């Protein structure tokens, strides 16, 4: 006797396995909403750096002393931009 179609049991088993696999992907940490929000925040900050719009970042100045070949000393003033929250800390120094 040749079997040409799925039985009801095989169909229910296939649907159950498919639901388990899909729900596993949806509930995995890869699709975590917090990670998505952090990614969007980092993308926004990167765009601000590209267009040199530093609104929302803390700004300060730093004086650096650079020694070249143990003889030549150079002083350099740089601007320091900082973004910090509970998950992310970004520093950018710019001349």
Over residues 8-28, mean pLDDT: 85
Q: Provide the pLDDT confidence category of residue 52 given band limits of 50, 70 and 90.
A: confident
| Residue 2, in any domain of the structure | no
Phi, psi of 85 (to 5 degrees): -140, -165
**CA 77 from centroid of its chain's CA atoms:** 30
Q: Would 72 be classed as within a structural domain?
A: yes
Contact 48, 57 (CB under 8 A): yes
Unique residue bearing structure tokens 């699709």 = 31
Q: Does a structural domain hold residue 39?
A: yes
What does the pLDDT average to over 1-23? 82
How large is the average pLDDT for residues 67-83? 90
18 pLDDT higher than 90: yes
User: How does strand 89-94 pair with strand 72-84?
Assistant: antiparallel
Look up residue 53 and give its two tokens. 């719009």
Q: Quick one: 57 exposed, middle or buried, by C-beta within 10 A (0-12, 13-18, 19+)?
A: middle
pLDDT of 26-36, one tens digit each? 776 565 666 77
User: Which residues span the domain enclosing 86?
Assistant: 8-94
- The total domain count for the chain is 1
Indicate if the pLDDT at residue 59 is higher than 90. yes
């Amino acid at each position: 006797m040749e079997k040409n179609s799925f039985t009801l049991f095989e169909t229910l088993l296939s649907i159950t396995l498919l639901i388990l696999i899909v729900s596993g992907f949806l509930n995995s940490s890869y699709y975590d909403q917090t990670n998505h929000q952090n990614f969007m925040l980092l993308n926004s900050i990167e765009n601000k750096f590209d267009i040199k719009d530093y609104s929302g970042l803390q700004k300060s100045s730093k004086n650096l002393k650079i020694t070249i070949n143990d003889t030549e000393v150079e002083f350099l003033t740089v601007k320091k931009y900082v973004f910090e929250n509970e998950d992310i800390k970004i520093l950018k120094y710019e001349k």
